[in-house]
Every structure is written in C-alpha cells, then in structure tokens.
Chain A
Amino acid sequence: MVETPSLIQIKGIRDGLLITMDGASWPELVNAFIKNIDERSSFFQGARVVLDVGLNELRVAELSSLRDQLSEHGITLWAILSESPLTETTAQNLGLATRISKPQPIDYKDISESLAEDAAKWVKGPLRSGGHVSFEGNVVVMGDVNPGAEIVAGGSVIVWGRLRGVVHAGAYGNEKAVVCALELIPTQLRIAGEIAVSPKKQGKSQPEVACLKDGQLVAEPWQKMTGR
C-alpha cells in the first residue's frame, strides 16, 4: 500500500490551492486526491485549485471526469500545469488555464534569435468561434477561421480556407509579416501595429495576401503577387 499523502501535495498560492500529483498512475493519483478531499471536505469546499500533473499524459475523458468529480465536491478546477504537451493541449481544449503566473513580458529580440524563421504552428481547422491560437512564429491553418476565432502570431499567418475571424500577424512588431487566405474576409486584420477591417467585397473571391506597404495595410490577389 502506497502512502497516500506523499502522492498529493497541497500548497496555498495566491490564486487558490496548488495540488501537485505525481509518483503513481493516474487512477491512483485521482483516488488519493478524492480520498484526501473526502477527509477534509470543509477545507476544500469552494476552493479554486490548480493541478500540477507533472509528466502524466491526460486525455479529455480523464481530465473532464476529474473536473466533474471536483465540481461535485464544490471545487473549481481552473488550471492544469503539465510538462506533457498532450496534457497541455487537452487542458486548453477544455478551457483550462495552463499557467498560473502572468505571462512574462516578451523580449522580441530573444524570440527572433531563438526561433528559426521557418518555425510554424500547424493548426487543423476549422477554427470556430471562441477558438484561439497564439504562437511566437508563423501559423498555418488547414481549414476555415470562423468569425469569433482569433489568431495571434509573431510571424505570418496562412489560412488554407476562408479567413473570417480576427488575425494579428507580426504581433511583436514584425512589419514583414503577411496574412494570406483562400478567401480573405477577416472581421479585423492586424499586422504589427496597424489595424484594418476588410472592405465589403463584390464579385468572385480569390486567394489574397495582406501585407504592410509604407505603413498601410493592403490586400492583393495572390495571382498578382506570384506574377511579379
């Protein structure tokens, strides 16, 4: 029999309780945690907790079932800290935070040096309303970006589909960033510090590229770009 207290460590932090769960299989950890809660239910009542799950790889079913169990005990799970990218993605999909401190101000120089120019995040679409992608490099979306979705990229954004949401390319000041889409009709488009809304379009749509020219946001047909 494993000593349960050693699996679960509880620490008070500014934003609630930080629970560190490590050193056993996931079901064992969950059992130990729930047992812990049952023993001290008044202490946990109404708590906001952050779980540090270490290297555990968790899928939606596991995480959402734990979230539901916790909510039955009157506990709000609001963030997951993990070293596993899979778990982080899962947590983000469920709308949970994956970091607890305010993000550090970003040093632009650092990013441009550390990130190869061709680094890109691949996003399988469609990106629906409420969806959010943010990445220091380029972003490629395979599918539509619907109104209400948001992309923030340090580099350029390529949408293989219709772009109807909000996009910010060159978010850290890169004025050479471009945005291209098979159909470019964003709610709002930003490149570096410039903001524009797309004009009402008539006629047949075509692939377009938006970029900054002399401080102005302009969109041009893709064909014209390649013909140059």
Chain B
Amino acid sequence: MVAQVVTIASGKGGVGKTTSVANIAVALASRSNKVTCIDGDIGLRNLDVVLGLENRIVYDLVDVIEGRCRLHQAMIRDKRLPDLYLIPAAQTRDKTAISPSDMVRLCDELRQDVDWIIIDSPAGIERGFKNAIAAADRVLVMTNPEVSAVRDADRVIGLLDAEEKGPAALIINRLDPAMVKRGDMLSVEDVLDLLAIELVGVIPEDENIIVASNRGQPLALDGKSRAGQAFQNIARRLLGEQVPFMDLEQQSLFQRLLGRK
C-alpha cells in the first residue's frame, strides 16, 4: 500500500473543509479503503467533533511529531468503520508547533500502512496552510458559491501553482439550486468560469449536514441524503471512477414536492 495524500484547503474559513474531510474519509472507508484523516488545524481542532471521536483522544499530532508517542498510538479508530482512523490536532498549541517538513516525514511514515491520507487544512494561507499542503499529492480546493469565497479559492489555487502542488481540483459546497435559478447565487458555471480548474464535486445545501456534524455522524453514511450522495460521488471520483454529476435542480424540485430538503 502506498497512500495518496489529499489535502482539502480553501483560504476562507467556514466553507465546509472539515465536514468534507470527514465525509470524504467516511465515503472512502465505507468502500473498504484504509483511510487516515489528519486534522491540520492545530489550536482550533474540529475534525474529531464532526467524526464523533472527541472523547477518545489520548495523543495528538503534536505528540507524534515531538516524539511523546508512536504514530499508531495517536491514530484513533472510528467506531463505525474499522478502516477509518483520525489523527487529531493538538488543542493547546498553535500552528508553529509543527513545520512543513514534519508533515512530510509523518505522511511518509504513514504512507506504507494506508490507502488514503486526507488532511484538513486550516483557513488562511500562512503556516497552517503550508503545513497542510507540504505532503499533499493532490489538493482539493473548496469554495462556496459566494464571491468572497471564490476570490480566496482563486488566491489559494495561485499559491498551489507557485508551490508546484497544482493542478488543484475544485469542490463547490452549499449550492442552492433554487437560488441559482433565481439568479441570486453564483452557478457552478460562474465559479468554474473564473477558477478554470477541474471540478470533482458539487455538494447541495442541506440542513441535515449541521445535524449530522453536531451528532458526530457524517452524512456520507446515510444513503438517502443528497449531500451524503455528493460526498460518496467525490470519493468514487478520487478512486478513478467516472461518475456523472447529479442533476441538483430536478432533484430539489422533486424533494420540495415531497416536503424534504
């Protein structure tokens, strides 16, 4: 096994990086891939909460890097999926606790044991971001269909090119087809028109995401959810399958008739 390292980054905060890392990792693991996700947001860790593993943290990323524990001691196994592991971030430290070369060394050690390493980048373009992309084979840039988020994504894509980490691929999160139709939201085409990179996923706005994140049960485990389906599709695309993009508009009309969002 030689793992692929995938980092999810966005520049802007709050666009859904952590939720996506959790869901994509769950989707990959549910297809019997061995997956480790790493929370790169040292000082503001969240991924453990979204995955529902907060109460099981003993050692964290910084403990591994500073040699207080061995790598596998910091890997928390998911309670639902035996192939899914999390390396949580330290909450009491900050981004300067680790360096880009620490991340490269850690991922190189981990690569032999798993199929996928998914890294959750913090917002911003400073040290935390540089740490998160240092080991990446592939970077997925996340944006919302909002002008400010797209602007930041554009900057991040430029930085990735400069660091020779490109070409990045794009995930658009929280798309509301009804708003797009009314002309109140950027469409997928509008975003692609500006960013001009490959698209790997479009996730529809779905209030169940918030419920799922609060409960620590990623939606990708739920076969009925549209957003969960979209994450499953991203996982399949990462695995090399050709998956057509969902027709969000028709579905939303259909779901509205059913009274379900």
Q: Which residues of A contact B (CB under 8 A)?
A: 60-61, 64-65, 68-69, 71-72, 93-95, 126, 128-131, 144, 146-148, 164
Task: Establish whether residues A72 and B163, one from each chain, have CB atoms under 8 Å apart when the complex forms.
Answer: no
Question: Number of contacts between A and B (CB, 8 Å)?
Answer: 48
Q: List 12 A-B contacts (CB under 8 A).
A: A64-B163, A68-B101, A71-B100, A71-B127, A72-B99, A72-B101, A129-B154, A130-B155, A130-B159, A131-B158, A146-B194, A164-B194
A64 closest partner in B (C-beta): B163
A143 closest partner in B (C-beta): B196
Contact A61:B101 (CB < 8 A) given known A128-B158, A130-B158, A147-B151: no
B164 part of interface (Cβ distance < 8 Å): yes
Shortest beta-carbon distance from A46 to chain B in Å: 12
The interface bits of chain B over 67-85 (1 if a CB of A lies within 8 angstroms of the residue's CB, else 0) are 0000000000000000000
Task: Establish whether residues A148 and B151, one from each chain, have CB atoms under 8 Å apart when the complex forms.
Answer: yes
Task: Establish whether residues A68 and B99, one from each chain, have CB atoms under 8 Å apart when the complex forms.
Answer: yes
Of the candidates B130, B158, B162, which one forms a contact with A129 in the assembled complex, judged by CB atoms under 8 Å apart? B158
Q: Please name all residues of chain B whose beta carbon is closer than 8 Å to the beta carbon of A146 when the two chains form the complex.
A: 154, 194
Interface size range of chain B in the complex: 10 to 19
A72 to B130, CA, bound (A): 13
A71 to B100, CA, bound (A): 9
B118 part of interface (Cβ distance < 8 Å): no
Shortest beta-carbon distance from B203 to chain A in Å: 23
A93 to B159, CA, bound (A): 8
Shortest beta-carbon distance from B168 to chain A in Å: 11
Q: Please name all residues of chain A whose beta carbon is closer than 8 Å to the beta carbon of B158 when the two chains form the complex.
A: 128-131
A69 to B102, CA, bound (A): 10
Judged by DSSP, the binding face of A is: loop
Of the candidates A61, A126, A129, which one forms a contact with B151 in the assembled complex, judged by CB atoms under 8 Å apart? A129
B134 part of interface (Cβ distance < 8 Å): yes
B157 part of interface (Cβ distance < 8 Å): yes
A61 to B158, CA, bound (A): 16
Shortest beta-carbon distance from B146 to chain A in Å: 13
Contact A61:B196 (CB < 8 A) given known A71-B99, A129-B158, A147-B151: no
B130 closest partner in A (C-beta): A68
A95 to B162, CA, bound (A): 9
A122 to B129, CA, bound (A): 30
The interface bits of chain B over 148-180 (1 if a CB of A lies within 8 angstroms of the residue's CB, else 0) are 000110110111011110000000000000000
Q: Please name all residues of chain A whose beta carbon is closer than 8 Å to the beta carbon of B101 when the two chains form the complex.
A: 65, 68-69, 72
Of the candidates A71, A128, A144, which one forms a contact with B155 in the assembled complex, judged by CB atoms under 8 Å apart? A128
Task: Establish whether residues A148 and B155, one from each chain, have CB atoms under 8 Å apart when the complex forms.
Answer: yes
A157 to B194, CA, bound (A): 20
Task: Establish whether residues A60 and B164, one from each chain, have CB atoms under 8 Å apart when the complex forms.
Answer: yes
Shortest beta-carbon distance from B62 to chain A in Å: 14
* Residue with the highest number of chain B CB atoms closer than 10 Å, among A61, A68, A131: A68
A146 closest partner in B (C-beta): B154
Q: Please name all residues of chain A whose beta carbon is closer than 8 Å to the beta carbon of B157 when the two chains form the complex.
A: 128
Shortest beta-carbon distance from B40 to chain A in Å: 15
A128 to B194, CA, bound (A): 9
